[in-house]
Amino acid sequence: MKRLALTWIVLLPLLLAACAGAEGKAEEMIGNAQFEEAQGNYSHATQLYQRVLDRYPDTKAAHTAQERLQALEKLRD
User: pLDDT tens digit string along 37-59?
Assistant: 999 999 999 999 999 999 999 99
Length of the chain: 77
CA 30-71-39 angle, to 5 degrees, is 55
Number of neighbours of residue 59 by Cβ within 10 angstroms: 21
Q: Cα dist. 44→11, 36, 76 in Å?
A: 38, 7, 14
pLDDT band at 75 (very low <50, low <70, confident <90, very high): confident
Residue 31 is part of which domain span? 2-76
pLDDT at 19: 59
- Cβ–Cβ < 8 Å for 51, 29: yes
| DSSP run (H or E) holding 35 | helix 2-38
pTM, whole model, 2 decimals? 0.74
Please state the domain count of the chain: 1
